[in-house]
A and B are shown apart, each in its own frame.
Chain A
Amino acid sequence: MSVTILAKREFSAKEVVAAQEAPGKTVGRTAGSWVHDLCALRKVITLCPLCTHKFNPGRLGYRKEKEFPFVQAKCDGCQTFDVKCSAYFFEETYHEVRSTAADRRAEKYKQK
């Protein structure tokens, strides 16, 4: 009779976090409908150079991140990891999570 040894594996923090990454759109779902759903939830949208021209940020209340022309991310359109993605933030919540040089400059001249 064979003996099976069960050894509990210790996962590193990196492995645990990697397993938590969202898989993206489900099979059969069109990219446009997935991106529009993300927009309705005010998520950050990341699109690769091949997909970005199909997205009109202004119509959906989004703004393109310009201080960082590129971000490394998985494209929400074609689900490919690309080091030259563009990031789009929901306009109303942009300043909750982003501080630009222009913001910091303006803060210096506020009434103290």
Chain B
Amino acid sequence: MQFGYLLGGGTPTIKKYKMAAGHAAGIIVIVPAANATGLSTSTTTAWTESVGLTLDAITAEGSPVAYSTTQGAVEHLQSVIINPDAVLRALLVGSAVNAVLETRTIGTASSNGLTAIGTTGDTDPSSPDMDEGSVWYASGANGGASRVITSTTTTLTVTVIMPFAANRIGDRYHTIDYAVGNIAGVTMGTNLLNVRGDIASTGAVAGVVDLELNGAGNSFLHLVQRDHAFASS
């Protein structure tokens, strides 16, 4: 993930912390687990009591190294941006190992623009359920346009309330289970850097501030941490 901006404007606060493990740059770190020294790593589905986003990695001569528990070895530290209102920009991916998002293809045209009906072979949009998420076109008359999904069916159909222009067979589109204001949570890829767009929204407590809906490999979510160690609760 990348640090994008602060919800309240203003100035980022960066602190260097001791780490309980060698974390990658661009992941969320959380309050230490019991008996751990230094901040702990988040998981693909948990950002409980998050502290912030790491801004650098633990490296030696430019290469990441494992955290050392050897007596006398140097202590490792990493820089963390700790603002609770930091907006994080996360790439949307189509699998746990960071495949690109699925590109669906219109199989049955819709003249009223209220439905997007996929092609046999596309993933069923009702399982994982994309309802209340977003659908957007990457080609055709609707290229670049997006809408909130209001229902899904097992017949490869997603329905919207605010109509698109009429689509045509062969138009390419994408669906995700995220829309602005979604607070159901995110599931990260195994590298903890990217958000999985191929499954229903659940997992780490994050709120969706904004969407950057581009292509299959360059669409992003803007997220805030909703269970932050420095936010009042």
Q: Which residues of A contact B (CB under 8 A)?
A: 13-14, 16-17, 20-22, 24, 40-44, 46, 67-68, 70-74, 83, 85, 87, 89-90, 93, 95-99, 104, 107-108, 110-112
Find out whether the CB atom of B2 lies under 8 angstroms from the CB atom of A99: yes
Cβ 8 A contact of A97, one of B17, B26, B59:
B26
Chain B residues whose CB sits within 8 angstroms of the CB of A40 once the complex forms: 61
> In the complex where A95-B2, A96-B2 touch, is A43 in contact with B56 (Cβ < 8 A)?
yes
Residues of A within 8 A of B56 (CB): 41-44, 89-90, 93, 97
CB of B62 within 8 A of CB of A20, answer no
Residues of B within 8 A of A (CB-CB), count: 48
Contact: A22 with B229, CB < 8 Å?
no
Assembled-state Cα–Cα distance A46/B81 (Å)? 12
In this complex, what residue of A is CB-closest to B230?
A: A14
Q: Which B residue sits closest to A69, measured CB to CB?
A: B11
CB-based A-B contact count at 8 angstroms: 115
Q: In the assembled complex, which residues on chain A have CB atoms less than 8 Å from the CB atom of B78? A: 43
Pair A87/B14 contact, Cβ less than 8 Å: yes
B126-169 interface mask toward A, CB cutoff 8 Å, 1 = contact, 0 = none? 00000000000011000110000000000000000000000000
Q: Which residue of B lies closest to A12 (CB)?
A: B229
Contact residue among A13, A83, A89, A112 (Cβ-Cβ distance under 8 Å from B215): A112
Establish whether residues B60 and A41, one from each chain, have CB atoms under 8 Å apart when the complex forms.
yes
Tell me, in angstroms, the Cα distance from A19 to B78 when the chains sit together.
14
Q: Which residues of B contact A (CB under 8 A)?
A: 1-5, 11-18, 25-26, 31-32, 37-39, 49, 51, 53-62, 75, 77-79, 89, 138-139, 143-144, 212, 214-215, 218, 220, 229-230
User: Which residue of A has the minimal Cβ distance to B31?
Assistant: A13
Q: In the complex the two chains form, is B16's CB within 8 Å of A97's CB?
A: no
Contacts of A89 in B (CB 8 A): 55-56
Tell me which residues across on chain A come within 8 A of B18, comparing CB atoms.
Answer: 20-22
Q: How far is the CA of A74 from the CA of B1 in the complex (A)?
A: 24
Do A74 and B2 form a contact, CB below 8 Å, given A14-B229, A112-B139?
A: no
Query: Does A43 contact B16, Cβ atoms closer than 8 Å?
Result: yes
Q: Please, which residues of chain B bring their CB within 8 A of the CB of A22?
A: 16-18, 75, 77
Q: Are A70 and B75 in contact (CB under 8 A)?
A: no
- Taken together as a complex, chains A and B put the C-alpha atoms of A21 and B14 apart, in Å, by 11
Contact B54–A97 (Cβ < 8 Å): yes
Please pick, from B12, B16, B37, B61, the residue contacting A71 in the complex, using a CB distance under 8 A.
B12
B212 & A72 in contact (Cβ 8 Å cutoff): no
Report yes or no: B51 in contact with A17, Cβ–Cβ below 8 A.
yes
Chain A residues positioned under 8 Å from B15 (CB to CB): 21, 73-74
Most buried by A among B1, B5, B144: B5
Q: Do B53 and A97 touch across chains, with their CB atoms under 8 A apart?
A: yes
Docked-complex contact B39 and A110, CB < 8 angstroms: no
Q: How far is the CB of A64 from chain B (nearest CB, A)?
A: 14
Closest CB of chain A to B40's CB: distance in Å?
10
Nearest B residue to A109, CB-CB: B214
B230 neighbours in A (Cβ, 8 Å): 14, 17
